[in-house]
């Protein structure tokens, strides 16, 4: 596992400073400079005749403007063809949206439910998961956040993709619409337990797992159930998402009361930024102190020379998530 071997990288920048980009693979297409001749583009001619080579130079900038206007007006296919002819980088993003749209349309037609496709995509370009809910207002809000820039709990989702190994279990006590839980359930390895507040929330998350095809890896419980605070046994490590900092202390108490031998190897919790309206410095300090007493060390995600890395939390104070890691978790990564 890559992350824990990079804990001491000294020169890092906060994750929130990463420019907003698509989670899909970046395009290699670039628009040539003004006045530079581009490669000839083969355009089909009359049937049976060889293609006619056309060379677009300065006019490419005009084609990009027109393609953007067409896309905004809903003429997606025409916009993509024109952008591709002009070698404009937008075509990769538009193609990803078109693939997501096609997959979401298939799901809606087959199951009769609306959903939010993830900004993360599979190898074939389709959304990695689709989250659904009967809460239309909440679903719209989730869509705006997911597709408005950098995704929901992007730090947590990046961490899960790197950290989960065979035999591990991700436990989420603050799943909201289940974006992180569905990320874990569609990762290369690991099982997932999500604890939600109501039966409606449980039904929605189970439906999302079925739509995504990961229902065999995702167990959903309600917090008022008899086994809500007892974690299933696993041979691997247990990665826990506690939610807000204020949840950490009572959650740890509840889990330890239900099972004194409960095993936790990583605890992810939201510390928030000082600019947040709900920033709670006291709860943050309490959470860090409680976990420190239990033997955890605190880290954050940041951008370093090798990409996204884990660094000591005080080196990336503007991050919104803290990852408290046990000695066993760190040892597995060779730290």
How do residues 229-258 score in pLDDT, each as one tens digit? 999 989 899 999 999 999 999 999 999 999
More confident residue, 284 or 87: 284
More confident residue, 228 or 74: 228
Q: How confident is the model at residue 152 (pLDDT cuts 50, 70, 90)?
A: low
d(C-alpha 64, C-alpha 186), whole Å:
36
pLDDT at residue 220, as a whole number: 96
Strand, coil or helix: 121: strand
Compute the average pLDDT of residues 37-41: 43
Question: Does 28 have pLDDT greater than 50?
Answer: no
d(C-alpha 118, C-alpha 220), whole Å:
20
Q: How confident is the model at residue 7 (pLDDT cuts 50, 70, 90)?
A: very low
Question: Does 47 have pLDDT greater than 80?
Answer: no
pLDDT at residue 184, as a whole number: 96
Q: Which of 100-104, 164-168, 172-176, 322-326 is the least confident region?
A: 100-104
pLDDT at residue 334, as a whole number: 64
Residues 6+ apart with CB under 8 A from 221: 193, 194, 195, 196, 202, 227, 228
pLDDT at residue 80, as a whole number: 81
Q: How confident is the model at residue 4 (pLDDT cuts 50, 70, 90)?
A: very low
More confident residue, 225 or 28: 225
d(C-alpha 11, C-alpha 179), whole Å:
31
d(C-alpha 3, C-alpha 246), whole Å:
26
Q: How confident is the model at residue 42 (pLDDT cuts 50, 70, 90)?
A: very low
Q: How confident is the model at residue 315 (pLDDT cuts 50, 70, 90)?
A: low
Question: Does 1 have pLDDT greater than 60?
Answer: no
Compute the average pLDDT of residues 149-169: 83
Place of tokens 């995702």: 218
Give strand pairing partners of 298: 324
- The class level of CATH for 3-15+151-332 reads alpha beta
Compute the average pLDDT of residues 184-200: 95
Q: What is the mean pLDDT of the chain?
A: 79
pLDDT at residue 308, as a whole number: 74
138 φ/ψ angles, rounded to the nearest 5 degrees: -65, -35
pLDDT at residue 189, as a whole number: 93
* Max CA pair span of the chain: 79
pLDDT digits (tens, 9 = 90+) for 76-114: 878 788 888 888 778 777 777 777 777 778 777 777 778
pLDDT at residue 48, as a whole number: 55
Q: Could you give the C-alpha distances from 110 to 104, 106, 211, 305, in angstroms and in order?
A: 10, 6, 10, 45
Task: Spell out where 50-159 has E strands.
Answer: 52-54, 116-117, 130-131
d(C-alpha 126, C-alpha 212), whole Å:
11
Q: Which residues of 262-293 are buried (b: 16+ CB within 10 A; e: fewer)?
A: bebbbbbbbbbeeeeeeebeebbeebbebbee
pLDDT at residue 105, as a whole number: 82
Domain boundaries, the chain: 3-15+151-332
């Amino acid at each position: 596992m890559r992350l824990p071997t990079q804990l001491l990288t000294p020169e890092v920048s906060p994750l929130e400073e990463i420019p907003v980009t698509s989670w899909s693979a970046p395009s290699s297409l670039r628009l040539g400079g003004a006045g530079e001749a581009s490669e000839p583009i083969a355009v089909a001619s009359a049937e049976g005749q060889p293609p006619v080579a056309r060379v677009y130079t300065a006019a490419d900038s005009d084609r990009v403007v027109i393609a953007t206007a067409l896309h905004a007006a809903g003429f997606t296919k025409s916009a993509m063809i024109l952008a591709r002819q002009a070698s404009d980088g937008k075509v990769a993003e538009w193609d990803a949206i078109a693939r997501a749209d096609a997959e979401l349309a298939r799901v809606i037609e087959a199951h009769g439910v609306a959903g939010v496709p993830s900004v993360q995509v599979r190898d074939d370009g389709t959304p990695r998961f689709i989250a659904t809910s009967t809460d239309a207002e909440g679903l719209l809000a989730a869509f705006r956040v997911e597709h408005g820039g950098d995704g929901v709990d992007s730090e947590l989702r990046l961490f899960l993709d790197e950290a989960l190994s065979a035999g591990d279990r991700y436990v989420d006590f603050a799943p909201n619409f289940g974006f992180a839980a569905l990320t874990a359930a569609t990762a290369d390895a690991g099982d997932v337990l999500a604890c939600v507040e109501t039966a409606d929330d449980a039904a929605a998350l189970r439906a999302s797992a079925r739509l995504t095809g990961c229902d065999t890896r995702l167990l959903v419980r309600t917090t008022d159930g008899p086994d809500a605070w007892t974690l299933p046994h696993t041979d691997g490590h247990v990665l826990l998402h506690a939610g807000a900092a204020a949840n950490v202390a009572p959650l740890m108490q509840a889990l330890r009361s239900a099972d004194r031998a409960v095993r936790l190897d990583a605890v992810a919790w939201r510390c928030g930024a000082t600019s947040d309206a709900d920033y709670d410095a006291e709860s943050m300090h309490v959470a860090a102190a409680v976990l420190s007493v239990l033997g955890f060390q605190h880290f954050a995600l940041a951008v370093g020379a090798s990409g996204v890395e884990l660094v000591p939390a005080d080196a990336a104070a503007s991050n919104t998530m803290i990852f408290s890691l046990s000695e066993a978790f760190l040892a597995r990564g060779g730290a």
